[in-house]
Structure 1
Amino acid sequence: MSGVRVERDAVEATGVAVVVLDRPDKLNAIDLAAARALTEAWRSFRYDDAVRAVVVTGAGDRAFTTGIDRGVEVPQPASPYSIDDPLIAIGPKANDLWKPVVAAVEGMACGGAFYLLGECEFVVAARTATFFDPHTTYGMVSAYESVLLAQRMPYGEIARLALMGTAERLGAARAHEIGLVSELTEPGEARAAALRCATTMASYPPEAVQGTVRALWSAHEPTRSTALSLAPHLIALGNAPVSAQETRFRTRSDGPPPRVR
């Protein structure tokens, strides 16, 4: 019922757990229950020594996740100095998990998907996968997503992804060229490839692996922390009213198909 499934069947043999966003009929969109379940999963892995690496993926082949479920209503504080973001703690690093996490992407990954992809060690994607950020199209500021992706993509590429909104989608091949994706697979094979990587990492001494993850993350931490501290204010000041966002969402749903580059 949470929309998230944690598979531990192979943990004893491989040391790898799998987190599955499991709302395929909703393109694995994340509602409040799923957001809470993701937080609980990452935090539980900190105390489970049998889990030494994790794969996160989406159910089905249509989407990794399309981010926040637009049916979720999240009342916001009136102050421009704060914002209630239901996805703020859905990633592993936000929950102080320093075990390696590999993302396996099939289909679409957009919007709030980057909270997860931005906190994974690397991404494996099917050649048919696509990435895009719809925020600006609907009158919303892409803040957390852009900051997290800016740690692993050239500035011009993340700027184009964020500013072009729904007009463009980043194809898996181009995502691989610019470093967002580390490995391309045939459709349906992303999970298996991610599991191979995770199983390898899980076979190494965990202290060395987790220390390396922490070292890699710390390389960008001062810049990222400063940038993220501005995100609530930028969102509060720049987001259109919810009613205007919904109007833009409805009127653009029948627009021309996006260009894939």
Structure 2
Amino acid sequence: MSLIVERDKELGVALVTLDRPEKHNAIDLETADELSAVWRDFRFDETVRAVVLTGAGSKAFCTGIDRAAEVPQPSSPYSIDDPLIAIGPKANDLWKPVIAAVEGMACGGAFYLLGESEFVVASREATFFDPHTTYGMVSAYETIYLAQRMPFGEVARMALMGTAERTSARRAYETGLVSELTDPGEAVDAALRAATVVASYPAEAVQGTVRAAWAAGEGARARALGLAPHLIALGNLPPARQSERFAGRGGSGYRLR
């Protein structure tokens, strides 16, 4: 198991922890399946009224898909199999509030999870970046999710600058990605405090409010997500060339923003 799921039935709060710290909590195929399963399970668990999502250790919340994962792809340019497409709560029809607690790095496919959380709490030492373009890959889903939270220019800069710079927690807070900053090591506790408050309210009112908030941008988001597979299929370098660029970037530096 690569997830730790803890439930406090008295408070109505669950804590979900990505438990692959040796891999910077990167998501392999097993973890992707486990995430989908836990969100679906929460739909039927009346003792869970709010959820906190985090990553084990202090180095990373999540660094996206594990590059060792092998995902066979259809030959058609009109379709693509994305193993991360169903790792988020909304993709699994969960409308109970989810609060993300970020320590360390959050990058690439981590935005599938942050993008489907209600809000994000982060340590002041957290950083955010999207490496896709650096490696010859289209940042589609990540950019779409971020565009629901941040100004266009900030989203475009993060996606286009790739590994050349990282967005600091302070900048992420200033631009709307993060709603609360904490001292290092305290993001989970802060998120749990917020989740406990939310879980104490009537569940129907809370879930209706969550659904209303997401409905505000649902039309534009759905249209953009429908386009994403085609952009990826047409714009990505072949996997071998992606790997070449990844290997060649080994020790390159970055600028904190």
Common topology (TM > 0.5) = yes
Q: C-alpha separation between the residues in 1 aligned to 2:237 and 2:135?
A: 8
Q: Equivalents in 1 of 2:226, 2:198: separation in Å?
A: 32
Query: 2:59 aligned to 57, 62, 68, which one?
Result: 62
Unaligned runs of 5+ residues in structure 2 are none
Give the aligned partner of residue 106 of structure 1: 103
In the alignment, structure 1 segments of 5+ residues that lack a partner are none
Residue deviations 1:58-108 (CA, integer Å, cap 9, x gap): 000000000100000111111111000000000000000000000000000
Please give the secondary structure, in 2, of the residue aligned with 1:71: coil
Q: Percent identity?
A: 71
Count of aligned residue pairs for this structure pair: 257
Equivalence for 1:259: 255
Q: Which whole-Å deviations, capped at 9, do the CAs of 1:122-181 have from their partners, x for residues lacking one? A: 000000000000000000000001001100000000000000000010000000000100
Give 1:1-261 correspondences, 5 Å limit: 2-8=1-7, 10=8, 12-255=9-252, 257-261=253-257
Matches of 2:114 and 2:147 in 1, distance apart? 12
Q: Distance in 1 between matches of 2:73 and 2:251?
A: 29
Runs of 4+ off more than 6 Å: none
For residues 6 and 254 of structure 1, the distance between their equivalents in structure 2, rounded to whole angstroms, comes to 35
SS of 1:37's partner is helix
Distance 1:222 1:180 in 2: 21
SS at match of 1:84: coil
With the length of structure 2 as denominator, give the TM-score of the two structures.
0.99
The code of the aligned residue for 1:65 comes to C
Question: CA separation in 2, counterparts of 1:147 and 1:24?
Answer: 27
User: How far has the Cα of 1:3 moved from its partner?
Assistant: 1.1
TM-score of the superposed pair, with normalisation by structure 1: 0.98
Deviation at 1:252, TM superposition (A): 0.6
Q: In structure 2, what is the Cα distance between the partners aligned to 1:59 and 1:158?
A: 26
Residues 5-43 of structure 1: CA deviation (Å, up to 9, x unaligned):
1111x2x22100011000000000000000000000000
Q: CA deviation at 1:254?
A: 2.0
CA distance in 1, matches of 2:245, 2:6: 38
Q: Aligned to 1:14, what secondary structure does the other structure show? A: coil
Query: What value does the CA root-mean-square deviation take over the aligned residues?
Result: 0.5
